[in-house]
Structure 1
Amino acid sequence: MKITLDNITIKNGDFILKADGEFERGVHLITGKIGSGKTSLAMAVAGFLKVSGGRIEKSGTGSEIYSMQNPEHHVTAEKVRKEITSWGLNPEFIADRYGFEEMMDKDPVLLSRGELKKLELACIAERNPDLLLLDEPFSSLDCVEKKKLISNLCNRKDKITIIFTHEQAVLPKADYIWETEEGHLICHGKTPEAILRWKNCPQYITEALRRGIIPDNITVDDVMEALCRMQG
């Protein structure tokens, strides 16, 4: 199972992003400033934005889901119950497992953005595709829901998950770290070594590195564990 970006060029208006690299099984975190090309890259890998040069090759991915930044773009039905059915899932099972009982007969577009995002991510978790592209999945979620998302991602080590985000507070464990910078996609490699090359890392990691602490991974818990080992 592999996604290959073979010297691709993405043009979106006046913006140009060049990318080259491979995404194998595991969780890939792509960070970068707002406007640095993360969404354009996600759309290109998903097949919704044509590349201007190079090619994108996919092998071994029988199922794919692209989760767009705005959850309302995914709505296809007039009731939450029917929306869940449109994903090929059992509405009663999803309602019971994720606590959607009180909203089943509501219009999805009338839900709060956080509720709608929670619904979309629940359906994605149950579908569990071979390739999952998540564009700013943490937006609109509170800390509790962000942690639930992270927990679900931990079960996808045998599949490919690519997260495009500028989230700086709650992050999942990542197998690989990438960055979009100055019109290029840069692969820093595997964690934990990649952390040392990560320019757009959260403040808590910057502070840990300043103290000479190199965590095993990128979550707050990883940093705290590394600090405890140092003090011990």
Structure 2
Amino acid sequence: MDKGLTVRLRQDKLIPLDVDFAVAPGEAMALVGPSGSGKTTTLRAIAGLYRPVAGRIACNGMAWFDSAAGIHMPARQRRAGLVFQSYALFPHLTALANVMEALNDTAREMRREAAMALLARVHLDGLEERRPAQLSGGEQQRVAVARALARRPDVLLLDEPFSAVDRVTRRKLRRELAELRRDLPMPVVLVTHDLDDVTRLADRLCVMHKGRILQSGTVAEVMTQPASAEIAELLDLAANEA
């Protein structure tokens, strides 16, 4: 498809991968599986932080990676907003400055105003001048989301975005992200081990194991009609780990 994200990755060595999926604009795809199943590697490949052996990644018709054509667009040139599991904020910069760092495509005199608007969008009004160490885990996560959106991304990538916060904060952040997602006209790829994240945030689900997609479909289809006993076991494991 021309619009949205298409991902096809193949490699046998290092980290085995056999991945093929597409995410339409405004749609969220969750990648679920045990540790070592290739979820985060797939996300990093989309962002340009990992170069797979073979395959193709395209967003809105533009090839970001194509092994056959010798294309590997650097991460900084890909319009991908990535929220890391650890948030990866600059510790010496304020929340406002962290977001402004991602506004390279915005005129310098407009960056502060744009960053303030993004922080307000994630409910951080009044905390703009605090550094990461002065923010709670949930507040740091909101800064990371605002920074990802500052790149005006064509795709939003979320790597275990709630794993570092407590259960109560996780529920609140999940609600906020679900509300935000309704206003995002871009594909979203979510890596998670928590099926509550999947049911509340995703439209479709890919179950991964040892680098392969075992089953994909709507969240309801996969969770109520697992294609094999192995998939049912992996989903049950994810549910019990949450």
Structure 2 partner of 1:43: 44
**Cross-structure match for 1:177:** 205
Matching of residues 62-141 of structure 1 within 5 Å? 63-71=79-87, 73-75=88-90, 78-88=93-103, 90=113, 91-125=115-149, 129-141=153-165
Instruction: Return the alpha-carbon distance in structure 2 between the equivalents of residues 202 and 127 of structure 1.
Output: 37
Q: Secondary structure at the match of 1:15?
A: coil
Q: Distance in 1 between matches of 2:150 and 2:127?
A: 19
> Does 1:159 find its partner at 2:174?
no
Q: Look up the match of 1:5.
A: 7
Q: How many angstroms does 1:105 deviate by?
A: 2.4
Q: How many residues align?
A: 202
Cα distance, 1:104 vs structure 2: 2.5
Aligned-partner residue type, residue 6 of structure 2: T
Unmatched runs of 5 consecutive residues or more in structure 2? 63-77, 104-110
Deviation at 1:160, TM superposition (A): 0.8
Mark the CA change 1:53 to 1:95 in structure 2 (over 3 Å): closer, same or farther.
Answer: closer
The structure-2 alpha-carbon separation of the partners of 1:160 and 1:98, relative to structure 1 and needing over 3 Å to count, comes to closer
1:147 and 2:163 aligned:
no
2:9–2:17 CA contact under 8 A, matched in 1: no
1:10 positional shift: 7.2
Change (3 A) 1:85 1:57: closer
1:28-86, CA deviations, whole angstroms, 9 ceiling, x for partnerless residues? 11111122221111101111101012332333478321222111x24386222222322
Q: Closer, same or farther in 2 for the Cα pair 1:102/1:22, shift >3 Å?
A: closer
Give yes or no for the alignment of 1:52 onto 2:53.
Answer: yes
CA distance in 2, matches of 1:155, 1:97: 11
Structure number with greater CO (CA < 8 Å, separation at least 6) is: 2
Q: How many Å separate the matches in 2 of 1:35 and 1:43?
A: 14
Kept in 1: contact 2:119–2:125 (CA 8 A): yes
- Partners of 2:30 and 2:190 within 8 A in 1: yes
Question: How far 1:20 sits from its partner (Å)?
Answer: 2.3
1:15-30 to structure 2, matched below 5 A, reads 15-25=15-25, 26-30=27-31
Query: Is the contact between residue 131 and residue 161 of structure 1 (CA under 8 Å) also seen in structure 2?
Result: yes
Inter-CA distance 94–24: structure 2 relative to 1 (3 Å threshold): closer
Sort the Cα spacing of 1:203 and 1:47 in 2 relative to 1 into closer, same or farther, 3 A.
closer
| Structure-1 separation of matches of 2:158 and 2:126 | 27
In the superposition, the TM-score normalised over structure 2's length comes to 0.69
- Structure 2 CA distance for aligned equivalents of residues 92 and 56 of structure 1: 33
Q: CA deviation at 1:173?
A: 4.1
Mark the CA change 1:16 to 1:147 in structure 2 (over 3 Å): closer, same or farther: same
Distance 1:51 1:108, change over 3 A: same
- Give the residue type in structure 2 aligned to 1:163: L
Report how far residue 133 of structure 1 moved: 1.1
TM-score by length of 1: 0.71
Percent identity between the aligned chains?
A: 22
